[in-house]
């Protein structure tokens, strides 16, 4: 096929490759265009050979036609190389076409109808359209049209039709070029994402079968080996929880639409040696902003547990899906918060938990309530409406 | 995990089951399988069989006739969920305790619906494991907060799905929902009993009912499916 020498280099993007430029698609379009260029060249050659006897300067005409033929070969080869599809090649391509048109009156003499290159200029316009999109196609078509009109004494209906089709063709092919390249780029990204997710799942299986099992075993066996073993077991347990969280994330990232997050997964990442996170088996998809605020509120509650109950104090986080709301409960078994204490500190200007939990939830159109009794620990209930209608001012 | 529900007081009528308790351990990881088997043996239970995959488990189960099957969900085919369904069909008196390392949520839920009555994560301590095996053998359900959350979510999902023929969708009573929520929040049965002013046994019964209804529903669905597919002349197990 024409233009094949450049194919091997298609994989590497050029130094100034545009984000939506897709090398392989461009190359395919230009290869198809290469075939077209030889067809229109043959057309120009045959027409000239048939009529060269009638022209004023047939020798010069043969030179022009030979240059067109030579340039066609060079151009098809050069367009095949991605790094060469830049301004110098495109401008030279156009210059050859325009030059051939400009020499037409001298070669053919008065009263000519077709230019020397004829339909050959179509190749130039379409190449501009493929590489420089609709604007490129329009610009090249305009340059060719202006040159064509300027060498004529009279302007016929047929000339107008040719120019009109040329401009239209340049714009349409330019538009299709960008559309095809963008589609191909999107497909490539989707394929890469799918491959990455698949690889991640494979890794998760491998990690599960080996590392997680061993970590769990160390955690369980450790305490039987004395205090040092117990410490080892504790460390292994912490790593097990983190690693498990890591290998389990990933697949759902691809499922949630843009701007939304799975609250269940975000909360599950808070799971730690002393924090148990309980979520339903189905994803809880919320707007990303809302989910982020809820997670921040839960983190505030958990940090409160660490400060007021103890660094290693156990805590539980439960996510529930009710018909009209998401409810997150954060519970600890500490001494509890004395009644009126939160309001009191808020009144004293110490915002702390009150601000970061109650304020956050109110801004989301929900509410946060705390239930606490001496000896029964503290239980925060964060309620986020599932269809946020009105937003109460804070 | 599981701190919440293992501080059950000794039950007055608890027989000394550990002497004769027959247990089978299924796990594809040799080190883990032997570790669990050793723990159980040291505690006086009899490990009547071990298996490394679902095929082995199903082949050895009929002869071993264990009272409790300690089962890892992620084993080579057939997987844990299917093994649970098949052994419960073979011997409805067997108790299945799921021991899962990574807590694949859907798998755990499916196993419970297929008839498992206990669930522990692998990082549970030795004492927690032994306690869980004993309690499962007694017919109790061993619930973690995580499992309670999954079961709550499953009832929610079922109630959201419109039923087609006849309304046999299992639903929780208000009391069951309340108890299950407290389990999911990490309260022990004892704490729940105190908070709701109920007896320990009542709490236990409420929790068991939530699983029983799911399992029953699952069986009804399977039978209905079999009839629809024209398989009703084949024995189901």
CATH code where residue A276 lies: 3.30.565.10
Answer yes or no: is pLDDT of A379 > 70: yes
A146 and A273 in one domain?
no
Give every CB contact of residue A306 below 8 A, 6+ residues apart in sequence: A313
Residues of A in contact with B157 (CB under 8 A): 280-282
DSSP A281-295: SS--EEEHHHHHHHH
Mean pLDDT over residues A271-293, rounded? 85
Answer yes or no: is pLDDT of B165 > 60: no
Of A219, A282, A318, nearest to B123 by CB-CB distance is A219
- Name the more confident of B101 and B37: B37
Is residue A287 assigned to a domain? yes
Answer whether residue A391 shows pLDDT above 60: no
The pLDDT score that the predictor gives to residue A168 is 93
State what percent of residues in chain B have pLDDT above 90. 28
Shared domain for A146 and A271, answered yes or no, is: no
Q: Is the per-residue pLDDT at A14 higher than 60?
A: no
Average pLDDT across chain A, whole number? 82
CB contact under 8 A, A223 and B125: yes
Residue ranges making up the domain that contains A373? 259-394
Query: Looking at the predicted structure, is the pLDDT value of residue A3 above 60?
Result: no
Q: Does A179 share its domain with A276?
A: no
The answer to whether residues A3 and A77 touch, using CB atoms and an 8 Å cutoff, is: yes
Instruction: Establish if A225 belongs to a structural domain.
Output: no
If asked whether residues A182 and A266 sit together in one domain, one would say no
pLDDT confidence band for A344 (50 / 70 / 90): low
Q: Looking up tokens 């017919």, which residue turns up?
A: B139
Residue B102 and residue A248 in contact, taking contact as beta carbons nearer than 8 Å: yes
Q: Please indicate whether, in this complex, the C-beta atoms of B102 and A248 are within 8 angstroms of each other.
A: yes
| Closest chain A C-alpha to B234 CA, distance in angstroms | 33
Q: Which bin fits A305, alpha (ψ -120 to 50), beta or left (φ > 0)?
A: alpha
Highest mean pLDDT: which range of A65-69, A148-152, A257-261, A339-343 = A65-69
**pLDDT average, residue stretch A298-305:** 87
DSSP string, B79-107: -HHHHHHHHHHH-TT-EEEEEESS--HHH
Rounded to whole angstroms, how far apart are CA atoms B1 and A200? 26
What pLDDT, on the 0 to 100 scale, is given for residue A5?
39
Q: Which of A194-203, A211-220, A383-392, B179-188 has the lowest mean pLDDT?
A: A383-392
Report CB contact under 8 Å: A281, B74: no
Report the domain count for chain A: 2
Same domain, A267 and A170: no
Confidence (pTM): 0.59
Q: Which range (A269-278, B158-167, B184-193, B203-212) has the least confidence?
A: B158-167
In this structure, are A48 and A183 located in the same domain? Answer: yes
- Inspect the interface and report whether the beta carbons of B101 and A321 lie closer than 8 Å: no
**Six-digit token string for A354:** 């009150």
Give A330's DSSP letter. E
Chain A contact set for B106 (CB, 8 A): 281
Averaged confidence pLDDT in chain B: 82
Gyration radius from chain B CA atoms: 18
**Hey, are the CB atoms on B153 and A282 less than 8 Å from each other?**
yes
Q: Are residues A138 and A265 in the same domain?
A: no
Closest CA to B149 of A383, A268, A297, A361: A268
Q: Domains in chain B, start-ordered, CATH in brackets? A: 17-142 (3.40.50.2300), 147-228 (1.10.10.10)
What are the chain A neighbours of B181 within 8 Å (beta carbons)? 318, 320
For position B31, what pLDDT does the model report? 82
Contact B156 A216 (CB under 8 A): no
Instruction: Tell whether the model's pLDDT for residue B237 goes beyond 90.
Output: no
The count of CB pairs under 8 A between chains A and B is: 100
Burial per residue of A173-201, b for 16 or more beta-carbon CB atoms within 10 angstroms, e otherwise: bbebbbebbeebeeeeeeeeeeeebeebe
Residue A316 Cα, gap to closest chain B Cα (Å): 6
Strand bridging mode B118-121 / B95-100:
parallel
For residue A384, what pLDDT is reported?
92
Domain boundary among A136, A166, A190: A190
Residues of B in contact with A329 (CB under 8 A): 185
Q: Do A220 and B126 touch (CB under 8 A)?
A: yes
Q: Of B79, B123, B157, B188, which to mutate for an interface test with A (greatest number of A Cβ within 10 Å)?
A: B123
Contact A180, A25 (CB under 8 A): yes
Q: Is A224 on the interface with B (CB under 8 A)?
A: yes
pLDDT tens digits, A312-335? 889 999 999 888 899 999 999 888
The 3-state DSSP composition of chain A as helix, strand, coil percent (nearest 5) reads 65, 10, 25
Q: Is residue A226 part of a domain?
A: no
| Angle made by CA atoms B33, B86, B107, in degrees to the nearest 5 | 65
Instruction: Reply yes or no on whether the pLDDT at A34 is more than 90.
Output: yes
| A50 and A173 assigned to the same domain | yes
Which residues lie closer than 8 Å to B122 by C-beta, 6 or more apart? A212, A213, A216, A220, B32, B72, B99, B100, B101
Confidence of residue B12 (pLDDT cuts 50, 70, 90): very low
Q: In this complex, which of A217, A237, A282 lies closest to B32 when CB atoms are compared?
A: A217
> Could you report the per-residue pLDDT of B172-182, keeping only the tens digit for each?
888 999 999 99
* Domain assignment present for A207: no
Q: What percent of chain A has pLDDT over 90?
A: 29
DSSP one-letter string for B3-61: -TT--PPPPTT---GGGT-EEEEE-S-HHHHHHHHHHHHHTT-EEEEEESSHHHHHHHH
CA distance B34 to B27: 9
Q: Where are the beta strands (DSSP E) in chain A?
A: 260-262, 275-278, 285-287, 315-321, 325-332, 367-373, 377-385
Query: Residue A193 — very low, low, confident or very high, per pLDDT cuts 50/70/90?
Result: confident
Inspect the interface and report whether the beta carbons of A213 and B31 lie closer than 8 Å: yes
Task: Give A166: exposed, middle or buried? Use CB within 10 Å, 0-12, 13-18, 19+.
Answer: buried
Q: Are residues A25 and A173 in the same domain?
A: yes
Distance from CA of B98 to the nearest CA of A (A): 15
Per CB-CB distance under 8 Å, the chain B contacts of A238 are none
> pLDDT by residue (tens digit) across A217-230?
888 888 888 888 88
Question: Is the CB of A244 less than 8 angstroms away from the CB of B152?
Answer: no
The minimum CA-CA distance between B150 and chain A, rounded to whole Å, is 5
Q: A235-281, pLDDT tens digit by residue?
A: 888 887 777 766 665 444 444 445 778 888 888 888 887 888 888 87
CA B99 to chain centre: 9
Q: How close A190 gets to chain B, by Cα (Å)?
A: 26
For an interface test with B, the pick among A217, A280, A283, A298 (most B C-beta atoms closer than 10 Å) comes out as: A280
Query: What ipTM does this complex have?
Result: 0.76
Final residue belonging to a domain, choices A172, A190, A208:
A190
Domain boundary (A162, A190, A218) is at: A190
Q: Given a cut of 50, is residue A393 above it in pLDDT?
A: no
pLDDT attached to residue A347:
61
Say if residue A394 is in the same domain as residue A279. Answer: yes
Chain A hits for B154, CB-CB cut-off 8 Å, are: 280-281
* A282·B35 Cβ contact <8 A: no
> Does A386 contact chain B (CB < 8 Å)?
no
A184/A274 same-domain check: no
Shortest CB distance from A217 goes to which of B35, B186, B187?
A: B35
Q: Could you give the CA distance from residue A253 to residue A270 in angstroms, rounded to a whole number?
A: 17
pLDDT tens column, A116-164: 898 999 999 999 999 999 999 999 999 999 999 988 888 888 888 888 9
Q: How far apart are CA A146 and CA A139, in angstroms?
A: 11
Instruction: Identify whether residues A158 and A274 lie together within a single domain.
Output: no
């Amino acid at each position: 096929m024409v233009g094949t020498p450049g194919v091997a280099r298609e994989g590497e993007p050029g130094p100034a490759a545009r984000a939506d430029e897709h090398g392989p698609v461009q190359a395919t379009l230009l290869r198809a265009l290469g075939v077209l260029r030889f067809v229109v060249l043959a057309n120009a050659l045959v027409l000239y050979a048939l009529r060269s006897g009638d022209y004023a300067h047939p020798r010069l005409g043969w030179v022009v036609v030979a240059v067109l033929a030579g340039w066609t070969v060079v151009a098809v080869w050069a367009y095949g190389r991605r790094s060469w599809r830049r301004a110098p090649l495109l401008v030279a391509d156009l210059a050859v076409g325009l030059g051939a048109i400009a020499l037409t009156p001298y070669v053919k003499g008065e009263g000519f109808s077709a230019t020397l290159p004829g339909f050959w200029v179509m190749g130039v316009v379409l190449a501009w359209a493929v590489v420089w999109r609709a604007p490129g196609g329009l610009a090249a078509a305009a340059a060719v049209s202006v040159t064509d009109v300027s060498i004529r004494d009279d302007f016929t209906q047929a000339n107008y039709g040719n120019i009109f089709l040329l401009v239209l063709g340049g714009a349409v092919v330019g538009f299709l070029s960008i559309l095809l390249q963008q589609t191909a780029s999107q497909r490539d990204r989707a394929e890469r994402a799918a491959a990455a997710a698949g690889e991640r799942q494979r890794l998760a299986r491998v990690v599960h079968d080996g590392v997680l099992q061993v970590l769990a075993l160390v955690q369980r066996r450790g305490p039987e080996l004395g205090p040092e073993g117990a410490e080892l077991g504790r460390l292994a347990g912490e790593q097990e929880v983190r690693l498990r969280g890591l290998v389990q994330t990933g697949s759902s990232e691809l499922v949630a639409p843009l701007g939304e997050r799975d609250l269940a997964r975000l909360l599950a990442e808070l799971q730690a040696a002393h924090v148990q996170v309980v979520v339903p088996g189905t994803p809880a998809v919320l707007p990303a902003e809302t989910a982020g605020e809820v997670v921040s509120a839960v983190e505030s509650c958990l940090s409160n547990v660490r400060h007021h109950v103890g660094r290693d104090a156990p805590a539980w986080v439960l996510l529930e899906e009710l018909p009209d709301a998401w409810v997150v409960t954060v519970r600890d078994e500490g001494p509890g918060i004395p009644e009126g204490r939160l309001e009191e500190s808020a009144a004293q200007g110490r915002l702390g938990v009150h601000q970061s939990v109650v304020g956050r939830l109110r801004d989301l159109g929900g509410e946060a309530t705390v239930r606490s009794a001496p000896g029964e620990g503290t239980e925060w209930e964060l309620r986020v409406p599932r269809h946020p209608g009105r937003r109460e001012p804070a | 995990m599981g701190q919440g529900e293992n501080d059950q007081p000794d039950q007055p009528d608890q027989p000394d089951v550990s002497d004769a308790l027959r247990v089978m351990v299924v796990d594809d990881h040799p080190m883990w399988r032997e570790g669990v088997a050793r723990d159980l043996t040291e505690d006086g239970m009899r490990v009547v069989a071990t298996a490394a995959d679902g095929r082995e488990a199903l082949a050895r189960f009929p002869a071993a006739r264990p009272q409790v099957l300690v089962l890892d969900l992620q084993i080579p085919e057939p997987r844990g969920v299917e093994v649970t369904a098949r052994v419960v069909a073979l011997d409805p008196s067997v108790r299945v305790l799921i021991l899962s390392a990574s807590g694949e949520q859907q798998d755990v839920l499916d196993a419970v619906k297929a008839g498992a009555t206990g669930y522990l994560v692998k990082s549970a301590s030795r004492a927690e494991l032994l306690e869980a095996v004993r309690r499962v053998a007694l017919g109790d359900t061993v619930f973690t907060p995580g499992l309670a959350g999954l079961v709550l979510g499953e009832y929610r999902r079922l109630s959201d799905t419109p039923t087609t023929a006849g309304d046999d969708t299992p639903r929780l009573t208000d009391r069951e929902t309340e108890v299950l929520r407290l389990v999911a929040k990490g309260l022990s049965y004892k704490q729940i009993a105190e908070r709701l002013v109920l007896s320990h046994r009542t709490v236990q019964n409420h929790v068991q009912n939530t699983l029983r209804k799911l399992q029953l529903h699952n069986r009804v669905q399977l039978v209905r499916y079999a009839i629809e597919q024209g398989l009703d002349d084949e024995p189901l197990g």
